[in-house]
Amino acid sequence: LLRLADYAERGGVVDYEVVKVYKALLEFDTISAEYRRRLNGAILHYYYQQYEGDIFEEYLRECKLDLLEEENRNLAIRYMVDRELYSLAMEAVRTYGYYGLPMEQIQKLCTFFVEEESVEYDELLMTMAFELFHNDNYNEAVLKYLIRFAKGGNRELLSIYQTAVRLQFDTQDLEERIV
């Protein structure tokens, strides 16, 4: 099996049969953690390139992110966001962080959760919302979340307030916290 995997890796060709070999190799406890991460990364790329819809989404649901290198883990989280598997993506972000994700992905993920009617203050959502705001990647939903729940120094709150006033948002909640 190792020889087959080695030939496939050298040849750069990953197909269904090679993925079966990779999966069989992953069953062995003797495989090093580094090699395990490489195999899992190759499987992730294969599923992304070859499958649409249910098969790829099922793979993302079953994927063990801790067995992926950081770059591939971030890629898997991006795919989760693209496929609107937001709860799964947020669970991964809570575990591994969102460093390395593009702002557009962070915005989509954050927006999904802050638009929920029952949204409450959440430290991670607030951190994401502040980062989006400071990088000018916020949208209406993110700004409304900040207006409603932002805490911090007056400088940060005033910046949010000024933006909210300029865009004609209701700022009463924010004004009370500033005072």
Task: Enter the tokens of residue 54.
Answer: 């249910």
Rounded to an integer, what distance in angstroms lies between the CA atom of residue 140 and that of residue 39? Answer: 41
Q: Rounded to whole angstroms, what are the CA distances from 79 to 52, 55, 84, 158? A: 11, 13, 8, 36
Q: What is the pLDDT of residues 72-84, one digit of tens each?
A: 999 999 999 999 9
Rounded to an integer, what distance in angstroms lies between the CA atom of residue 85 and that of residue 163? Answer: 31
- What pTM was estimated for this model as a whole? 0.83
pLDDT at 5: 66
Q: Coil, strand or helix: which one is 83? A: coil
Rounded to an integer, what distance in angstroms lies between the CA atom of residue 15 and that of residue 21? Answer: 10
Q: What is the pLDDT of residues 92-112, one digit of tens each?
A: 999 999 999 999 999 999 999
According to DSSP, residue 152 is labeled S
Residues 6 or more apart from 60 whose CB is under 8 A from it?
47, 76, 79, 80, 83, 85, 88
